């Protein structure tokens, strides 16, 4: 691999032992995937933040890197943590877990990472531009950045993202390269999609169908930001899809070639079958919205729906701290709380320890959450649109 003088210095340890070790990791990764050079990254997003996935060894590792002088050199955000960092007690997070999670957050802060724990960094102050190289970890954020923004990132693991943050570089391979961003299959959507849950169902179905390939969608040009984030998240979960194109909706769609590709039609039948396959429960103990983390628009629409009603069982909407602060200012949080719901920041239904909090059946409108909750959190899932879920929590 060709390295610049600055990169040779990193490898020789002239920029400290942590940088040296992290840069070696990046070079090894680049060698495995045939990269010929390193690319500077504009921003990083690090996953593996919840104490549930980090554990004590993970915290010690991070603390040690900070003690040895490790510091990030580009804007670096975190994926959701295991709790609302400020209001963990109010949502019933066990105290032992909260103490460990707080220690992990301090370890990240020690490395200079911004304590913005969200899977929608692009809605919360970390917005890359078209064609910019970044190193993000969380699969739905990777999908959104590549597909909707047209930035370029591979799906980084926690360690390779941390290494990119500390060194400011990532190896030039995979989705950083033009030739690897062409579609493999055309998906012609004939179903009329009514809400975010429909886009989640479409994503779940197509992810399984295309598995790791790059789909090119026709027929979803009306999709907005929230629908595209729901679609990408579900495809990333069911089929490890890190990039998709959508005709007249995503920026690279006019630039790629679709001639001669296999074409598959997805209609209402496939969407309805996906709902049936993902539903195991009847009455949710809790409904958790905001997977991926909710936009301010999604929070305001929930507040409108809950205005003046009383829920029998809770609804959370998960979001970033930035969106929660805005929701507080706008009075949306107060309206949601009056109904018996909560706006929960920094965490989500999958990385919070909900299985330890007495919940066994969770209602979601996200294809990704519906796919992950049974395995990660031992939950039965009710997968439906928001109106249906709110209705069930009132009975
Ligand atoms: Fe985000 Fe958690 Fe869903 S990380 S995409 S809210 S599973």
Nearest CA to ligand 1 atom 7: 350
- Which atom from ligand 1 is nearest to the alpha carbon of 233? 5
Q: Are 119 and 348 in contact (CB under 8 A)?
A: yes
Residue closest via CA to ligand 1's atom 4 equals 119
pLDDT for res 364: 98
Atom of ligand 1 nearest to the CA of 366: 3
Q: In testing the pocket of ligand 1, which one of 317, 351, 383 has its CB within 8 Å of the most ligand atoms?
A: 351
Cα of 83 to ligand 1 centre, how many Å?
13
Peptide bond into 86 cis (omega under 30): no
Cα 279 to chain centroid, rounded: 22
Task: Give the binding-site residues of ligand 1, using a 6 Å CB cut-off.
Answer: 79-80, 119, 138, 140, 233, 291-293, 318, 348, 350-351, 368-369, 372
Q: For residue 192, what pLDDT is reported?
A: 96
Pocket test for ligand 1, best of 116, 119, 143, 228 (most atoms within 8 A of CB): 119
Rounded to two decimals, what is the model's pTM?
0.97
Residue ID of nearest Cα to ligand 1 atom 5: 292
Between the CA of 295 and the centroid of ligand 1 the distance, in Å, is 13
3-state SS track over the chain: CCCCHHHHHHHCCCCCHHHHHHHHHHHHHHHHHCCCCEEECCEEEECCCCHHHHHHHHHHHHHHHHHCCCCCCCEEEECCCCCCCCCCCCCCCCHHHHHHHHHHHHHHHHCCCCCCECCCHHHCCCCCCCCCECEECCHHHHHHHHHHHCCECCCCCHHHHHHHHHHCEEECCHHHCHHHCCCCEEEEECCCCCCHHHHHHHHHHHHHHHCCCCEEEECCCCCCHHHHHHHHHHHHHHHCCCCCEECCCCCCCCCCCCCCCEEEEECHHHHHHHHHHHCCCCCCCEEEEEEEEECHHHHHHHHHHHCCCCCCCCEEEEECHHHHHHHHHHCHHHHHHHHCCEEEECCCCCCCCHHHHCCCEEEECCHHHHHHHHHHHCCEEEECCHHHHHHHHHC
Phi/psi region, residue 150 (left: phi>0; alpha: psi -120 to 50; beta: rest), is left
* Alpha carbons 351 and 359: distance in angstroms, whole number: 14
CA of 53 to the centre of ligand 1 (A): 14
How high is the pLDDT of residue 281? 86
Handedness of CA 174, 178, 181, 185 (dihedral sign): negative
Which residue's C-alpha comes closest to atom 3 of ligand 1? 291
Q: How far is the CA of 221 from the centre of ligand 1 (A)?
A: 24
Residue 149 CA, ligand 1 centroid: distance in Å: 19
What is residue 108's predicted lDDT score, i.e. its pLDDT? Answer: 97
Per-residue pLDDT tens digits for 7-58: 999 999 999 999 999 999 999 999 999 999 999 999 999 999 999 999 999 9
From the alpha carbon of 290, which atom of ligand 1 is closest? Answer: 6
Among 348, 352, 370, 381, the mutation site with the greatest number of ligand 1 atoms within 8 A of its Cβ is 348
Query: In a structure prediction context, what are the per-residue pLDDT tens digits for the chain, which is 395 residues long?
Result: 999 999 999 999 999 999 999 999 999 999 999 999 999 999 999 999 999 999 999 999 999 999 999 999 999 999 999 999 999 999 999 999 999 999 999 999 999 999 999 999 999 999 999 999 999 999 999 999 999 999 999 999 999 999 999 999 999 999 999 999 999 999 999 999 999 999 999 999 999 999 999 999 999 999 999 999 999 999 999 999 999 999 999 999 999 999 999 999 999 999 999 999 999 988 999 999 999 999 999 999 999 999 999 999 999 999 999 999 999 999 999 999 999 999 999 999 999 999 999 999 999 999 999 999 999 999 999 999 999 999 999 99
């Amino acid at each position: 691999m060709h390295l610049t003088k600055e990169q040779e210095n990193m490898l020789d340890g002239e920029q400290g032992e942590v940088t040296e070790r992290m840069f070696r990791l990046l070079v090894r990764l680049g060698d495995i995937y045939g990269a010929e050079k390193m690319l500077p990254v504009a921003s990083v997003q690090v996953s593996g933040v919840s104490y549930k996935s980090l554990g004590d060894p993970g915290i010690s590792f991070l603390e040690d890197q900070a003690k040895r002088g490790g510091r990030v050199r580009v804007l670096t955000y975190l994926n959701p943590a295991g709790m609302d960092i400020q209001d963990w007690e109010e949502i019933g997070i066990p105290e032992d877990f909260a103490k460990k999670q707080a220690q992990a957050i301090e370890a990240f802060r020690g490395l200079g990472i911004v304590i913005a724990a969200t899977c929608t960094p692009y809605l919360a102050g970390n917005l890359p531009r078209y064609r910019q190289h970044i190193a993000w970890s969380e699969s739905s954020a990777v999908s959104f950045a590549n597909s909707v923004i047209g930035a370029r990132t591979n799906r980084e693991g926690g360690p390779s993202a941390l290494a990119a943050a500390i060194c400011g570089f990532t190896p030039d391979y995979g989705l950083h390269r033009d030739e690897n961003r062409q579609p493999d299959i055309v998906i012609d959507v004939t179903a009329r999609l009514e809400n975010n849950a429909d886009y989640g169902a479409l994503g779940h179905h197509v992810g399984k169908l295309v598995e790791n390939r790059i789909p090119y969608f026709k027929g979803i040009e009306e999709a907005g930001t929230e629908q595209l984030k729901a679609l990408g998240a579900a495809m990333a979960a069911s089929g490890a899809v890190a990039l998709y194109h959508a005709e007249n909706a995503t920026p690279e769609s006019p630039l790629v070639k679709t001639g001669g590709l296999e074409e598959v039609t997805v209609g209402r039948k496939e969407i309805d079958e996906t709902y049936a396959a993902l539903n195991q429960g009847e009455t949710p103990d809790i409904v958790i919205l905001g997977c991926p983390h909710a936009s301010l628009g999604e929070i305001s629409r929930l507040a409108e729906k809950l205005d003046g009603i009383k829920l029998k069982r809770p609804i959370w909407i998960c979001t970033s701290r930035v969106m929660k602060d805005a929701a507080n200012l706008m009075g949306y949080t107060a309206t949601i709380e009056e109904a018996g719901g909560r706006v929960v920041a920094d965490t989500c239904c999958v990385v919070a320890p909900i299985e330890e909090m007495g919940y066994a059946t969770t209602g979601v409108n996200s294809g990704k959450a519906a796919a992950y909750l049974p395995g990660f959190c031992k939950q039965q899932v009710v997968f439906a649109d928001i109106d249906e879920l709110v209705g069930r929590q009132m009975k």
